[in-house]
Amino acid sequence: EDPLFHLCADTGNRTPTSSLARTRSTTKPYPRVNALDYTEDEHPSNFSCAPARIRTWNSSSEDCRDIRFTTRANIRMIRARSHKYNARVTIAQMNVSLIVPQEVKNLSQTLKKAGFGAYLVGGCVRDLLIEREPKDWDITTNATPEEIQKLFKETFYENKYGTVGVVTESADPRLKVIEITPYRIEGKYSNRRHPDEVHFSDKLSNDLKRRDFTINAIAYDVEDDTFVDEHGGREDLARKIIKTVGVPHERFEEDALRMLRAVRISAELDFAIDTQTAAGIATHATLLKQISQERIRDELIRILLSPRPMQALYVAQKLGILSSVIPELMAAIGIDQNQAHSYDVFEHSLRALQHAADKNWSLEIRLAALLHDIGKPATRLWSDDKKDWTFHGHEVVGAKIARKILNDLRFPKETIDTVIKLIRWHMFFSDPDKVTLSAVRRVITNVGTEHIKDLLNMRICDRVGTGRPKEQPFRLRKYMSMVDEALRDPVSVAMLKIGGSHIIEVGLEKAGPRIGWILHALLEEVLDEPQKNTSDYLEKRTQEMSKLNDEELKKLGEAGKDRKAEEDEAAIRGLREKHHVS
């Protein structure tokens, strides 16, 4: 099923086709509605693409909605069709405390024995309830930081928000440090990131209502195996929706990064975004420009490494926040390509990225897949001869644009260099009837032996992103076998533990053709019995061979050369069989 299908709530039309599909798409698209078309004076983001069809949840009427945004600055729903929504998440019915790590239980017990409250809170409770392994564990309490530190042997407290890190003796890296934070009330967020002031509270309810989303505002008492859920988080988990705690605009004005976080969690958990929450994101999209590039980068990385990055970036674009993350991608929307493609540059890039995610490939490949055609809008020209669009040099232009994007987002230099290599050389020539082994070696030199397989995977993503059904056609498989051939260690006398210079040094032979004959004869023996490849054995055999006359020694050497050729042919044949090419 198309990864974008579930963004649409209209279950009456289950055609597995993206609403981004362009004119060359061979499948029937979703029913068309008015496209988003903001002008600069109406909204800072300028859209002229497919309809904004996002599956959302309207909590007031308890049904799922198919919403579309109008061209007005104040976002409003102009059509909604209700349908019965079947929850696909089963809230864990077991005793959750049974799967809470003992280290977490110990800290909780210590706090409670000292007369304080102790609750697990945040993402760990959410993940426990949907039977997903938590990445970290957070405890909240009515104890002050000073009181927390008195209770535990090794702690650190280096922030103004009350969070105390408690060091445990756990062998699990995720449990080495467990954070305990007092219940707190937060002041205004003038920098859209952190509260200007924090006041500790003795009420858990004050702490829960300051959190971002209802599914993250559930507290769990490990000792009593009870939940405190004042904002309907468990119900929202069951319905698979993301909804802010309280009024959306207040949460997003406090920390604008929460808008991108909502999209990221949606992609990670395959949840829908509540209607009012989605509208709040669209209304406050420009606030994301006030967030530091480092924080945006960290959320982007988590989006790219999620199972559904295509969905996340598509929704981010529809809600108007993608322009604050990678503004250069906006130019790719609506850029039709040549006849080899089914989608515009934007959707092609998202589909290439999604394939990298489906294959669980590295962050570098995912970034390269997303940005590999970022240079196409700037290089597109119409060819009267071909009667089609051309994009000559887009890989060179794209590499420069991508470097700027990644530098702006403060990615590490090593990551940037790898991604740029993959983008710069992704148009390598791969016709097996014309390409030579030396040309393949030049490509390997350009990207490095450590990244050539990444480049091939990048090519696969590019191909799948065009809409072609076959991931690895014969041409690409043949090219892969040539890469393996170029990379393999050749069968040669260099494999031997002794060389010609050593034979001369120890006085067994003088420089001349006899040295070569001896080495090839030794190589034949080692190919038959690899365990003989030791300095002692080979030196002993050299002493024996040095007693042979030239004719006898030459015969042994020629036999060794023939055996080397046979081994080479067998190795190459094996590589071609591996890739199913002749």
Residue 505 identity:
E
With a cut of 80, say whether residue 15 has pLDDT above it.
no
Domain range list for the chain: 96-239, 326-487, 494-578
> What global pTM score does this model have?
0.71
How far is Cα 390 from Cα 338, in angstroms, rounded to an integer? Answer: 7
- Match 């698209």 to its residue by tokens: 29
pLDDT digits (tens, 9 = 90+) for 444-465: 888 888 899 999 999 999 988 8
Report angle CA 60, 66, 70 to the nearest 5 degrees. Answer: 100
User: Which pair of tokens denotes residue 491?
Assistant: 């069968």
Q: In the predicted model, what is the mean pLDDT of residues 102-122?
A: 95
Identify the CATH class of 96-239.
alpha beta
Instruction: Give the model's confidence band at 403: pLDDT under 50 very low, under 70 low, under 90 confident, else very high.
Output: very high
**List of residues 6+ apart from 94 with CB closer than 8 A:** none
Can you spell out the DSSP letters for 52-74?
A: --EEEEETTTTEEEEE-B-SSSS
Beta-carbon contacts of residue 526 (< 8 Å; ≥ 6 apart): 495, 496, 532, 533, 538
Is the predicted pLDDT of residue 358 greater than 80, yes or no?
yes
For the record, the structure tokens of 330 come out as 């906006």
Instruction: State the Cα–Cα distance between residues 102 and 92, nearest whole angstrom.
Output: 19
Please tell me the predicted confidence (pLDDT) of residue 493: 76
* pLDDT for the residue 154: 93
Domain 326-487, second-level architecture: Orthogonal Bundle (1.10)
Instruction: Average the pLDDT over 1-14 and give the result.
Output: 34
How far apart (Å, rounded) are the C-alpha atoms in residues 218 and 506?
78
pLDDT in tens, 49-106: 333 334 444 444 444 433 333 222 223 222 222 233 333 444 555 566 668 999 999 9
Task: Report DSSP state, residue 509.
Answer: -
C-alpha 350/C-alpha 461 separation (Å) is 10
| Residue whose entry in the numeric block shows the structure tokens 């008015």 | 34
